[in-house]
Amino acid sequence: MIDILHRNNVKVSGQGVIPMLFAHGFGCDQSMWRLMTPAFEQEYKIVLFDHVGFGQSDLKAFVPGKYNSLQAYADDMLEICEELDLREVIFVGHSVSAMIGVLAAIKEPDWFQKLILIGPSPRYINDENYVGGFNAEDIEGLIDFLDSNYLGWSSVMAPVIMANPERPELGQELTNSFCRTNPEIAKNFARLTFLSDNRSDLPKVHTPSLVLQCAEDVIAPATVGEYVHEQLPNSKLIFMKATGHCPNLSHPEETIAAIKNFL
């Protein structure tokens, strides 16, 4: 029997009854929420976890062949909800985990009351009548660079993803987080992320959703946030003053305020 809570390094805190489930992005772990969760602990039950292969998750649970789609990570999340008997969940997902949350809410719509999607992108590669921010050659080059020199890729890409160059410690934190990740697992997850296409999933979501779109986000530009909002039947879009792709670290106060306003 798999110990699901050990597998995903699940941590529960807070004084409330309604669960808030926070899901981190690529190359990160639950510590990326540390500046935000205290603002919600009095009113909500805070549930943090690490995707398998990241943070303090059980690396032995990363079975080759199992994690070959984002749906596998969504299924893990649903197993956490089942194990803890979480219902009426407020889901907060960053970056690729926004789409993982979308997949979970499609599979078990009755378990989720709200989705908060920070920097979501259903597809990173441009397509006819769709601007994802990258052309196919960009993504191939990105993945080739990652394959050949993961640590080098991390030190180049993390500061670009984070932005806010006047605060280099933010880019350094993301670089360190990437570098702590097992390179083979990171490569697998990067392929799933950057080659994903979840555009057709968005209209299937009927959970009320908030899309938080940052300024100057190279990973998920404004056109993507607008697209996600247009395709999600019951959504609200907020353009933030926060810059970069990780407002949970760079601009936690603005991110908290936007979420509280939505809730």
Q: What is the pLDDT of residue 144?
A: 94
- The DSSP H or E segment spanning 214 is strand 209-215
The yes-or-no answer on residue 13 being catalytic is no
Beta carbons of 107 and 82 less than 8 angstroms apart: no
Residues of the chain with pLDDT under 50: none
The topology (CATH level 3) of 4-124+198-262 is Rossmann fold (3.40.50)
The active-site residue out of 95, 177, 196, 209 is 95
The yes-or-no answer on residue 217 being catalytic is yes
pLDDT digits (tens, 9 = 90+) for 127-145: 999 999 999 999 999 999 9
Q: What is the pLDDT of residue 82?
A: 97
Q: What is the pLDDT of residue 78?
A: 98
Q: At 161, list the tokens.
A: 């993803």
CA–CA separation, 94 and 116 (whole Å): 9
The active-site residue out of 24, 51, 229, 245 is 245
Q: What is the pLDDT of residue 64?
A: 77
Beta carbons of 12 and 36 less than 8 angstroms apart: no
The active-site residue out of 29, 50, 201, 217 is 217
The residue assigned the tokens 């083979």 is 184
Q: What are the extents of the domains in the chain?
A: 4-124+198-262
pLDDT digits (tens, 9 = 90+) for 62-71: 987 899 999 9
Show Cβ contacts of residue 40 under 8 Å, excluding neighbours closer than 6 positions: 14, 16, 20, 46, 256, 259
